[in-house]
């Protein structure tokens, strides 16, 4: 049976694009979207406060599947959703693992999937003991010869909740330990070895309720101040691309099958000397897969809805070359992008603020020269 009401807590740009994809599939996306939320006009909005029990019951009424655009929001409501006998896809137990950097890295290691070497930081350390622990770990180079990065277990995105301790920095271990100590109990921290990598990439894939699996070609990702700015697919200029594609697909498929994953998933990786090293799993549609809306026969958003509602997965073939530019903290004149061949503007309708993702552009070209030319044009128009 094809399901047709999908509920999504959160009304941001991911819900907006899920709502848009749902229209072509006769799926209604019911989203907790206020009139000023990105998703408001592309979904069936639900404006009442979801923390109220009665409101939540009407939000979930007649819903076939519950999904989410942020792991945190998804988990916050998962018990209530299950009490209403509504399935949650992706599965909440895997989302819990992916949302905790210690559990996530342990899970990957148990599956023999390469990840940065890591250690859990003892929550009982005092500031002095933490300073000694970090100084010793750094100078012994046990985790990596390149240095360390301390990360909070939960939360922290776009580079927040992270402390890099590298040879390139003047490391004041005392100052660092004071800062880090304030979070070692809650949310807790891990320390990772810094990976020497040539570029960052991600694989976007999906697995359906029927166990069908599909993925897109690897996407190259470029960050500035830890915020994703550009994505490109396919990746160019790598001699071992074919091997990396095979490894990426193997990683994504292993993760999906072992966790009985349902929905779209993104696995972010470093390209290191010996191949891919996984940095992070996003159990949802992901910014680095936005280019699939125009760059592939099936977008990651449509695929997510197909996967969770028991439909057949769509065709992920891509013709040509795609790029995605995130619009971060910039006001733009949308008219300038009208009728620009191969350039597509997605404006999220959010208030512009510094470092806030307010939209993106997808650029497609049938040749790399055409893609470069159009990308240059798009950058001029911003
Ligand atoms: P994350 O929040 O884990 O996605 O990290 C944000 C960014 O920090 C990544 O995109 C990398 O550029 C960098 N980074 C994180 N972990 C490591 C690591 N173990 N080695 C090298 N760079 C890292």
Residues 232 and 143 in one domain: no
- Nearest C-alpha neighbor of 258 from the set 274, 275, 281: 281
Domain end residue (candidates: 158, 193, 228) = 193
Instruction: Say yes or no: 336 and 271 in one domain.
Output: yes
Collapse the DSSP code of 89 into the 3-class scheme (helix H, G, I; strand E, B; otherwise coil) and give the result.
coil
Q: CA triplet 243, 249, 251: central angle to 5 degrees? A: 100
Nearest to 74 by CA among 271, 353, 304, 288: 304
**If you measure from the C-alpha of residue 200 to the centroid of ligand 1, how many angstroms do you get, rounded to a whole number?**
9
Task: Quick: pLDDT tens for 267-293.
Answer: 999 999 999 999 999 999 999 999 999
Q: Are residues 171 and 234 in the same domain?
A: no
pLDDT at 4: 87
Q: How large is the average pLDDT for residues 224-232?
A: 94
pLDDT tens-digit profile of 160-171? Answer: 789 999 977 777
Structural domains of the chain, count: 3
Q: Is ligand 1 within 6 A of the CB of residue 149?
A: yes
| Stretch 245-274: mean pLDDT | 98
301 and 333 inside one domain = yes
362, 291 in Cβ contact below 8 A? yes
My answer on whether 57 and 121 are in the same domain is no
pTM reported for the whole predicted model: 0.96
Quick one: 288 and 168 in the same domain? no
Question: 333-379 pLDDT, tens per residue?
Answer: 999 999 999 999 999 999 999 999 999 999 999 999 999 999 999 99
Output the six-digit token pair for 237. 């200029």
Residue 333 confidence (pLDDT):
95
Instruction: Count how many Cα atoms sit within 13 Å of the Cα of residue 243 in the half-sphere of its side chain.
Output: 9
Residue 349 belongs to what domain range?
Answer: 199-381
The verdict on 233 and 287 lying in the same domain is yes
pLDDT value of position 3: 54
Taking each continuous run of H as one helix and of E as one strand, the counts in the chain are: 11, 17
Ligand 1 neighbourhood includes 155 CB (under 6 angstroms): no
- The DSSP secondary structure of 233-270, one letter per residue, reads ES--S-TTHHHHHHHHHHHHHHHHHHHT--EEEEEEEE
Q: What is the pLDDT of residue 2?
A: 54
If asked whether residues 210 and 341 sit together in one domain, one would say yes
In a domain, 99, yes or no: no
Check whether residue 12 and residue 135 sit in a common domain: no
Give the HSE-up count for residue 349: Cα atoms under 13 Å, Cβ half-sphere. Answer: 17
For residue range 121-155, list pLDDT tens digits in order: 999 999 999 999 999 999 999 999 999 999 999 98
Question: Is 111 among the domain residues?
Answer: no
- CA-closest residue to ligand 1 atom 7: 226
Domain for residue 218, yes or no? Answer: yes
Closest CA to 39 of 285, 313, 225, 379: 285
Domain boundary among 40, 68, 88: 88
Domain match, 205 and 351 both: yes
In this predicted structure, what is the pLDDT of residue 157? 65
């Amino acid at each position: 049976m094809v399901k047709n009401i999908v509920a999504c807590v959160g009304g941001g740009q991911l819900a907006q694009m899920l709502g848009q994809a749902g229209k072509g599939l006769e799926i209604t996306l019911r989203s907790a979207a206020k009139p000023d939320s990105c998703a408001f006009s592309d979904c069936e909005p639900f404006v009442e406060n979801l923390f109220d029990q009665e409101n939540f019951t009407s939000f979930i009424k007649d819903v076939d599947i519950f999904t989410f655009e942020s792991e945190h929001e998804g988990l916050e409501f998962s018990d209530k959703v299950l009490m209403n006998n509504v399935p949650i896809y992706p599965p909440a137990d895997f989302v819990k693992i992916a949302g905790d950097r210690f559990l996530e890295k342990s899970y990957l290691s148990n599956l023999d999937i390469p990840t940065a070497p890591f250690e859990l930081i003892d929550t009982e350390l005092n500031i002095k003991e933490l300073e000694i622990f970090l100084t010793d770990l750094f100078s012994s180079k046990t985790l990596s010869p390149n240095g360390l990065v301390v990360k909070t277990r939960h939360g922290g995105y776009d580079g927040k909740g992270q402390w890099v301790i590298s040879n390139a920095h003047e490391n004041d271990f005392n100052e660092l330990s004071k800062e880090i100590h304030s979070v070692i109990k809650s949310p807790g921290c891990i320390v990772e070895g810094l990976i020497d990598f040539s570029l960052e990439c991600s694989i976007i894939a999906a697995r359906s309720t029927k166990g069908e699996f599909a993925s897109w070609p690897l996407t190259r990702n470029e960050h500035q101040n830890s915020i994703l700015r550009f994505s490109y697919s396919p990746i160019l200029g790598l001699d071992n691309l074919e091997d990396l594609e095979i490894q990426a697909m193997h990683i994504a498929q292993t993760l999906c099958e072992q966790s009985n994953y349902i929905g779209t998933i993104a696995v972010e990786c470093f390209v290191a000397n010996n191949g891919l090293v996984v940095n992070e799993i996003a159990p949802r549609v992901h910014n680095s897969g936005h280019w699939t809306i125009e760059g592939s026969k099936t977008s990651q958003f449509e695929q997510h809805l197909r996967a969770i509602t028991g439909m057949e997965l769509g065709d992920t073939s891509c013709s040509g070359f795609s790029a995605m530019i995130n619009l971060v903290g910039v006001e733009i004149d949308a008219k300038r992008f009208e009728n620009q061949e191969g350039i597509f503007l997605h404006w999220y309708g959010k208030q512009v603020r510094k470092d806030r993702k307010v939209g993106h552009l997808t650029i497609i070209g049938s040749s790399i020269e055409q893609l470069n030319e159009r990308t240059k044009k798009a950058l001029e128009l911003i």
